[in-house]
């Protein structure tokens, strides 16, 4: 494996090879866009914010001291840029009430999702993520998809680690609660047919 | 309870990884790189074709030769004898400058003198 490390590419960019930045863009553009999209829920706006974030990162690159991973540093930029955009839009988010989920219901949700075809499943999960608050949608994506640690998410968001843990717990419950709402009728319908 | 927690964690991780990342439009990277290339494009500092010291030499040669010719052939002039036989050896063609011609040369000289002054003025007016 001869893939270049982020630091190697950063050094090249700082040395005047701006094309090396293209490799960093290739490496992180999907997830940077994902964070922006999950927070803003609008593709055009998310793309604008993702672009601005990459440009800001390029401008600030000489100040990047490598204390955290480049990805963490970059996600911090996109997270805060998205929050700024949300504040500018003054978008209101109405959150659903969290229902308590039992172990049995988790199994039912898992089974219910198995019945769905892949595209349906993706759409459903995407919709459920969109119903989380902007902050929670970003945190849950960073933690479960990008596998950033709680400590790294704390650096990205500027929230305390305990706060992140609470938010993760609540988001997970909210997500399952939302999934249950979609899955339950499906399961009943399937069971109904079987009986 | 612990078991349920683990199961939820595992399921959520599986689901989010299955959904994957959102894909931006194909032009996003191009837009970013275009903006970066604008930022990094270095404007070459203005470098005149003829360097300043050369202008001084040219100007000096021109002025001294003009002065020399004027002192030699002008209607009002001192007797030119530089005291060296070498100067008398080269017989320069006798140029007769009329008054009008002399005024014309002086005006052209003034015109050329205006160029750097005007250039500096305009640079200050519209400069970056």
**Domain CATH number, residue A25:** 1.10.1740.10
For residue B38, give how far its alpha carbon lies from the nearest alpha carbon of chain A (Å).
11
For the stretch B90-128, pLDDT in tens is 666 667 788 898 899 999 999 988 888 888 888 888 765
Q: Which residues in A have their CB inside 8 Å of a CB on B?
A: 16, 18-19, 21-22, 25-26, 29-31, 33-34, 37-38, 43, 46-47, 50-51, 54-55, 58-59, 101-103, 106-107, 109-110, 113, 118, 121-122, 125-126, 129, 140-141, 144-145, 172, 175-176
Collapsed DSSP state (helix, strand, coil) of residue B111? helix
**Domain CATH number, residue A154:** 1.10.10.10
A164 Cβ contact list (under 8 Å, min separation 6)? A139, A150, A153, A154, A157
Spatial separation of the C-alpha atoms in residues B7 and A102, rounded to whole Å? 11
Q: Which of A54, A89, A124 is the last residue of a domain?
A: A89
As a whole-number percent, the residues of chain A with pLDDT over 90 amount to 21
Interval B58-71 mean pLDDT:
87
Encode chain A (195 residues) as per-residue pLDDT tens digits: 446 788 888 988 888 888 889 999 999 999 899 999 988 888 899 999 999 999 999 999 888 887 888 889 999 999 999 999 988 887 555 555 556 666 666 666 776 666 667 677 777 888 888 888 888 888 988 888 888 888 999 989 999 999 999 988 888 888 888 877 776 655 555 554 444
Burial of residue B81 (CB within 10 Å: 0-12, 13-18, 19+) is: exposed
State the pLDDT at residue A122.
78
Spatial separation of the C-alpha atoms in residues A170 and B108, rounded to whole Å? 86
Same domain, A32 and A81: yes
Give domain status of residue A98, yes or no.
no
Same domain, A107 and A73: no
For residue B6, give how far its alpha carbon lies from the nearest alpha carbon of chain A (Å).
10
Q: Which of A132, A28, A167, A150 is nearest to B29 (CA)?
A: A28
Same domain, A143 and A175: yes
Tokens of A81: 């840029």
Q: Which of A89, A112, A129 is the last residue of a domain?
A: A89
Same domain, A15 and A76: yes
State the pLDDT at residue A76.
92
Interval B40-58 mean pLDDT:
83
Domain interval for residue A155: 103-194
As a whole-number percent, the residues of chain B with pLDDT over 70 amount to 75
Same domain, A107 and A180: yes
Spatial separation of the C-alpha atoms in residues A60 and B76, rounded to whole Å? 71
Q: State which residue of chain B sits closest to A43, comparing Cα positions.
A: B24
In chain B, what are the domain boundaries?
48-97, 98-128
State the pLDDT at residue B104.
93
Residues of chain B contacting A103 with CB distance shorter than 8 Å: 3-4, 7
Same domain, A120 and A160: yes
State the pLDDT at residue A195.
40
Q: Which of A60, A89, A118 is the last residue of a domain?
A: A89
Same domain, A57 and A129: no
State the pLDDT at residue B25.
87
- pTM of whole model > 0.80? no
State the pLDDT at residue A193.
47
Spatial separation of the C-alpha atoms in residues A141 and A45, rounded to whole Å? 18
Spatial separation of the C-alpha atoms in residues A62 and A80, rounded to whole Å? 20
ipTM over 0.90: no
Same domain, A80 and A116: no
Number of domains in chain A: 2
For the stretch A49-67, pLDDT in tens is 999 999 999 999 888 887 8
């Amino acid at each position: 494996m001869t893939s270049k490390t982020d630091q190697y590419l950063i050094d090249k960019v700082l040395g005047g090879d701006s094309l090396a930045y293209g490799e960093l863009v290739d490496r992180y553009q999907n997830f940077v866009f994902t964070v922006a999209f999950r927070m803003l829920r609008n593709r055009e706006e998310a793309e604008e914010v993702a672009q601005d974030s990459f440009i800001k990162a390029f401008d600030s690159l000489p100040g990047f001291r490598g204390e955290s991973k480049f990805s963490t540093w970059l996600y911090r930029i996109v997270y805060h840029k998205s929050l700024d955009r949300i504040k500018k839009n003054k978008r209101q988010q109405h959150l659903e009430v969290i229902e308590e989920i039992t172990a049995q219901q988790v199994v039912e949700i898992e089974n219910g999702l198995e019945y769905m075809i892949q595209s349906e499943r993706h759409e459903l999960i995407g919709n459920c993520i969109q119903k989380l608050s902007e902050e929670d949608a970003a945190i849950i994506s960073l933690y479960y998809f990008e596998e950033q640690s709680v400590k790294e998410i704390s650096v990205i968001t500027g929230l305390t680690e305990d706060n992140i843990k609470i938010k993760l717990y609540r988001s997970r419950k909210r997500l399952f609660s939302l999934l249950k709402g979609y899955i339950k009728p499906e399961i009943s319908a399937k069971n109904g047919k079987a009986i | 309870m612990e078991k349920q927690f683990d199961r939820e964690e595992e399921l959520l991780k599986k689901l989010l990884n299955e959904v994957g990342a959102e894909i931006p439009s194909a032009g996003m990277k191009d837009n970013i790189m275009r903006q970066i290339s604008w930022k990094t494009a270095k404007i070459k500092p203005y470098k005149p074709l003829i360097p300043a010291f050369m202008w001084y030499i040219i100007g000096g040669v021109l002025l001294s030769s003009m002065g020399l010719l004027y002192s030699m052939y002008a209607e009002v002039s001192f007797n030119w004898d530089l005291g060296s036989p070498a100067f008398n050896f080269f017989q320069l063609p006798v140029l007769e400058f009329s008054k009008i011609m002399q005024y014309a040369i002086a005006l052209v000289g003034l015109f050329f003198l205006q160029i750097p002054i005007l250039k500096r003025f305009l640079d200050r007016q519209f400069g970056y």
